[in-house]
Structure 1
Amino acid sequence: MFKAAMLLSYQYNITIEGEFIGWQAEQTTGDIIDAMDIMCRAISVSNIVGVVGPWLSREAQVIAPFATKLGIPVISNSATSPGLSDKNAYPNFYRTVASDFVAAVALAKLFIRYNWTSCIIIYQNDAFGTGGANAIVKAFNNNGLTVSQMIVFDITILSIDGDLKSLLINAATRMVIVWAESLYTSLILQEALDSNVVGPQFTWIISNTISLNSFNQTLYENLIGMFLIEPSVGSVVNALINTTLLDAAYSIWQQYEPESFPGSMNVENYALFAFDATWTLIQSLQQLCASKINISSSCLSFIGSSYCFDRHFINSKSLLDIVSGTEFLGVSGPIQFSDNVTDRIN
């Protein structure tokens, strides 16, 4: 939906100094050094005045401070670690997806609703996993619930720290929460299936959608009853969304990449968050440059050498003030950012 937003801006004739807004898309790998390398190379050869992304919280923890040095905003559609909410640590960071603390509070409410009292958390050892696990612990403590055990999944060696079967069988609870990316969740569940510590003896709650294709079909029955918790969009809870903008975005997508369009009912929520992140940046740049129309230099000018760490966006403060004051009805719901944290106001 990033491309759909950019192409839609062309269709709506949104221009900066008489030209359409340029863009480039890069695929990160999850390696924070690779993410920094991609960012540095792009900044060195182009006037990059904003970033949509990155996908992962551990990447955002590095890209956001770099963007602060450059003076440009970073708006993520998927980095959910609660630690990224710190406005003092990440003043140039914004996100259109909710923090995992919102998910943690929802989990606590779910446990109270069904009179569940305790759980085990399996989490990946990075910003996303650790941040999410800590948020769950905090939400549970606030509601008189117990996290009886924390189990680490090491994303470097792709393995549970310890023997999963004995850890779960010997635990006092049969509720298991997994806070891990889809790839790691699949590996964790495969080990759980092999160890026979899934349904119906255990109830599993996962934080990312996974494909069942990697599992033996004869074991599907053991996955019945598994819960999925993920960020939702306005349409799911009957909140207002911009249907005009959404229909236009879907039309653009089907026109330019029909083979990748999954159907309007199957578009991931993160894609809608990506559109709103991109649209926020587009509108902010348009407003910035409209306010600088009588200035001789370009509204997108940088100072410093071509080396990425030496560059700084001249109109940084003005652009950040505009992004912070953003308020519009997006395809995922109302878009507005908090004054005190980097989070979107829900």
Structure 2
Amino acid sequence: MIIGIPKEIKNNESRVGMTPAGVFELTKYGHNVLIQSTAGDGSGFFDADYLHAGATIVNTIEEVYAASDMIVKVKEPIAREYGLIQKDQVVFTYFHFASSEPLTKAMIESKSVCIAYETVEDDEGTLPLLTPMSEVAGRMAIQQGAKYLEKPVKGRGVLLGGVPGVQPGKVLVLGAGVVGIQAAKMAAGLGAHVTIMDINMKRLRYVNDVMPPHVVTEFSNEYNIRKHIKTHDLIIGGVLLKGAKAPNLITREMLKEMRPGTVIVDVAVDQGGCVETTKPTTHEDPVYIIDDVVHYSVANMPGAVPYTSTVALTNVTLPYVVKLANQGWEKATVNDATLHKGLNIVKGEVVYKEIIEAFGWESAEV
């Protein structure tokens, strides 16, 4: 099979779909890997590294798409790429279809096979290809939140860890999944007081068992959320509904109950965000302010640490890429139930019901 690795062209996206180590593994099975020149530069992997691993370097993104049976990348295709995707071509990447109807319609029209990292799901209900980026984003959420709490960037002027004689900052984490756990861990490490909320008592019991005493748990409901947003300095949105649009746990009118300079970091932005006022931003222009509340909602947070993110992503995607290359997508998804759940759109038909529900469509074809 010919596997193509294009250069990511989303704003400030420096990750790449595969490391040289991944390329080397694929070439061992006799597959050809085409990688666009300089695709790995932002992650610290250069053309010479890929050549040494057995890849073929091509100059343009058009060449990659035109010659490849399967495309392996990081972020969803953007408008410039829609016309490059071919009928029957396998595209393996993060899609987050539920947050973008134009993308969904474009992939339906392409008649390609879209396998989404974020819906590959194992028997235990975990998402193995989303987990490492959620870990990165959860940890980064606290770094960024701490930065934007500073007064020069319109935050409250609070140091999360406090100092002797001054109480530490308060962090509210919505969701006790991978993002929430990692965010709570980082915030607790800085010395902040952390409240983590979820509707899953099993997750809250786990948090209570593994976190230090200054991380407290509370059941998530509107009453409790309204209570805490009045007193917490940094709010992390880490809610995930698999393949579906995130619920709005914080509405526009609730912003008025927050103190000026409160910071919201909505990690759920890829799935539409769990705050009503969330809109996707970029690393180039990451924040905006509504009702004196600072919103940080960069849609590709891990792209700011591309070396770490690319290695972590290839670690988990490569076994599935190998299966798809060795067996073809049809046989691979039949033989592997985990991979089968990654199928979102197949040759013009939406096969993941949460996408249909997200847009209120009546059928799988539009």
Structure 1 length-normalised TM: 0.38
Structure 2 length-normalised TM: 0.36
| Greater relative contact order (Cα < 8 A, sep 6+) | 1
